[in-house]
Structure 1
Amino acid sequence: MTMRRRLLRWAFVGAGAALGLASCANVAADRALFAQSALVGMPKGTLLSCAGVPDRQAVVDNREYFTYRSSRLVSYPSPTVGLYGGGWGPHYGYGWGGWPAYGSEIASFDCDATFSLRNGVVERVVYGGTSGGATRLGQCYAIVQNCLPQTPVASAQPNP
């Protein structure tokens, strides 16, 4: 095989890998990250009008803290250990050879978004929760999505 063909083959492999990684992008997570900086400077009244009444709030050393919580449970069927190849119950697969579907799995996604306000203006946005990584960030977007159009930098928001 010539050197040119090898390079061409690796170029296709690299392009395929880049395309595969791009398809896994979580747009909601990207927008939630963007919101952490875009919402800084937002007036308290605007925050309350777009995000609603916070689930918790506190005042410490002339700072206000508004915490919003978003969570959801997702249930989907999953195969469980059972009679494989037998003929009992509903099952996945072809004909009688599938796994019986008697179980389900539950996934929990949650986010706590805490807004720190000083002198009636958002100073910082911090995300937390038990979910991790892009999963949590995707759920955080549910909290901030109505506020993003209220920011002056909304036109710089990442495109879907």
Structure 2
Amino acid sequence: MTLASPGRKRLQPLILAALGLGAASLAGCANPSADQAMFAQTALIGMPKETLLTCAGVPNRQATVDNREYFTYNSSRIVSYPSPPIGYYGWGPRYYGYGYGWPDYGYEVTSYDCQATFSLRNGIVERVVYGGASGGSARLGQCYAIVQNCLALIPQQTIKPTP
């Protein structure tokens, strides 16, 4: 089949629609807290040490090497979600014959954590690095809890439309 074949021309709108639907579904999974945490990695550069301590608080760990200071903040939370009740079949101490028995509720437990390290040189933030056991947007969403108050001190940038 060549590029100019009628079959391919009919498939192009379908392929474009599928790609658009895929992009829209991925955008629906966006995590605004994660986006803000990523923004903070550049927006907080240049912040004075006194302002950082005011908005983020006292760090969990602090170190000084040569002319640099490192402030590390930790944030974590555990979330549990109840699972639907599960019925039982069979015999045993918790079963009453065949069929559904008493519902058993289970819980799905998820842990989110973030470790944000601020590198300061001469009392000015020069870098913000995130780490932790959680991955992806889950970790970044938890990092937002650390930088949220500091972002409130940064003037919001507005994007001017181009003519």
Superposition TM-score tier, normalisation by shorter sequence: 0.7 to 0.9
Structure 1 match to 2:99: 86
Tell me which amino acid in the other structure corresponds to 2:116: A
Tell me which amino acid in the other structure corresponds to 1:51: A
Conserved? CA contact 2:49–2:124, under 8 Å: yes
1:1-150 map, 5 Å: 5-78=10-83, 83=88, 86-90=99-103, 101-150=104-153
Compared CA separation, residues 114 and 156, structure 1 to 2 (3 A): farther
**Structure 2: 5+ residue stretches without partners:** 1-5, 90-97
TM-score, normalised to structure 2's length?
0.79
Tell me which amino acid in the other structure corresponds to 1:59: T
Q: CA RMSD in A?
A: 2.3
Larger Rg: 2
1:100-123: per-residue Cα shift (whole Å, max 9, x none)? x43212110000101111111101
Counterpart CA distance in 1 for 2:57 and 2:106 is 38
Conserved? CA contact 1:42–1:151, under 8 Å: no
Give aligned-pair identity as a percent. Answer: 62
1:17-43: per-residue Cα shift (whole Å, max 9, x none)? 111111111221111111111111000
Structure 2 match to 1:155: 157
Conserved? CA contact 1:56–1:68, under 8 Å: yes
Counterpart CA distance in 2 for 1:18 and 1:62 is 46
Counterpart CA distance in 2 for 1:103 and 1:116 is 43
**Structure 1: 5+ residue stretches without partners:** 91-100
1:58-93: per-residue Cα shift (whole Å, max 9, x none)? 222121111111000011123587615832223xxx
